[in-house]
Each structure stands twice: as C-alpha cells, then as structure tokens.
Amino acid sequence: MNTCIYTFSGTGTALAIADQIGAALGNATVQLIPRLLQQSPGEIKADAPKTGFVFPNYFGGMPNAVRAFVQKLNLDDVHYCFAIVPAGGGQGYSLKFLQKELLEKGKALDYGRYVKGGSNYIVAGYYKGMTAEKRDSLSRSIREKIHLYTGEIKADKSFVKRSNPLIYAVNRLLSSSSSRDVLKDTSAGDREYSAGSKCTGCGICQKLCQAGNIVMLNKKPSFQHKCYRCMACLQYCPQNAILFSGKELNKQKYNHPDYPAAKMIRQIQA
C-alpha cells in the first residue's frame, strides 16, 4: 500500500472523491475516519508513505471528528500529505486548520485543494437542495476537478490553496449562534432531532450513523448525544420522518449519486 486516504463523509461526496483519488493513484486504500476512531482508543499509526485527507468544510472549519482523528494519528512514516476539501458554500479555512494540526506533529501539508461540492446541511435556513439533474451535473464537475488534482498528487506536487481569512470571517459571522455553538461540540447536536409519525422503524438511520449515535427503541430512533452532525440520518430517511425542532424538513434531499443509502450502508459496515 503506497497511499492511504482517510475520509469523513455523511452523504457520500467526500467518500466518492476519496474513491476516485484512490483508484487513480493505484495501490491505495480508503478508510473511514469514524470507524478508525471507534476501533482505536489510543494512537493510530499511519503506515502509508503518501497519506491523504478528504473531508467536508463545516462552516469554514474542520469537522470535530477529523480534528480528533488527526490529533491521534502517528505520521512518523508519512512522507507526503495531501487533502481535498469539498465545500458547499465557500472554501472556508479548513486547510489552514489542518495545516495547524499537522505542524504540531512536525509534518507539513504538501498539497491541498478545495472543490465546490453540494451542501448537505439541510437544517440551515439557506439550504435549498438541488434537483437530481443539478446534483449529477455538480458531480461530473467534481470528477473533472479531481482528475486534475489527482495528477498533481501523483506527481508529488507541492501546492496548498491559500485559505481566505475574510471568507472564513464572513462565513462565521453569517452563521447563526446556534450553528456556531453546535460546531464547537457536535455531540449534543441531535437534541433537536426526533422521530415523527411517518417513521416506519426501518432502521436505515441507525445503519447510516457512523457515530453510533442512534439506537432503535420500540422501533423508533433514539438519539444518544454523540452526534457528528453529518446530516446522514436526515438526508437519507426514506419517509422524511426525522423531525428537526419538531418539524418536517420539506426540502429537496441531497446525497452523492454514487452513494445511495444502500451503498453507503455497505461501505460503513464493510
């Protein structure tokens, strides 16, 4: 194994990008960050000389699970680090935060890019979703960009897209105070979730939850307050039965076309 790509993905975009990079580089493996966090309470050894991170932009920053993972990662045998960050609303400051975490381990981020992806943050007021046609068009655009970026990674190019502090500041300013509080610690971010009358007890939400945050009680999801706020349960629910603040989210749902619920579940359970 020459390359290991660590990814955090709620509705498939980051995972699809990691798959594409891994297939193009060859002799590569893709691993889910939440699974590794659950399996390894202590230090996690990165044993591939080329190591990548693919994760979504969370209001300009890094998901807490990704930060916790990087802090536990032993990178002594890594010679080249790269990162690709799909960002829905703007490039944010995610790469800068990742650089900071890596520097504390004596490592540099050798290559980093943002790519415009679809926002899955369905609970936000600005979220509008997208048609299947628009989603597929966006996915094709992402694949084209990743094809270019993968060539640069394969050649060990040194380049990190500069993170714009102004964009980050505006992003945080425009975020609601409740969103900013959630992002400090997402674990209690499920307190606004509940199962509505449409719930059939199918258990899809439980199978999709990489945080192990959902248990089925009396055929209804019960949220355990260790949420990653990845939106998988809300986006994939076939009945639109998970309520937010007691209300249905009657918006167009989003997931990457390569990752319908059944495939996402197989990947999580592999």
pLDDT one-digit tens code per residue, 47-77: 899 999 999 998 778 899 999 999 999 999 9
Q: 177 falls in which pLDDT band (50, 70, 90)? A: low
Question: What tens digit of pLDDT does each residue of 135-175 get?
Answer: 999 999 999 999 999 999 999 999 999 877 776 676 666 56
The distance between the two most distant Cα atoms of the chain, rounded to a whole number of Å, is 54
Per the CB < 8 A criterion, the answer to whether 75 and 51 are in contact is yes
More confident residue, 78 or 174: 78
Taking alpha carbons only, the member of 190, 175, 186 closest to residue 243 is 190
Residue 206 has a pLDDT of 98
pTM: 0.94
Mean pLDDT to the nearest integer, 231-241: 97
Question: What tens digit of pLDDT does each residue of 6-51 get?
Answer: 999 999 999 999 999 999 999 999 999 999 999 988 999 998 999 9
Per the CB < 8 A criterion, the answer to whether 121 and 88 are in contact is yes
Distance in Å from the first CA to the final CA of the chain: 19
Residue 148 has a pLDDT of 97
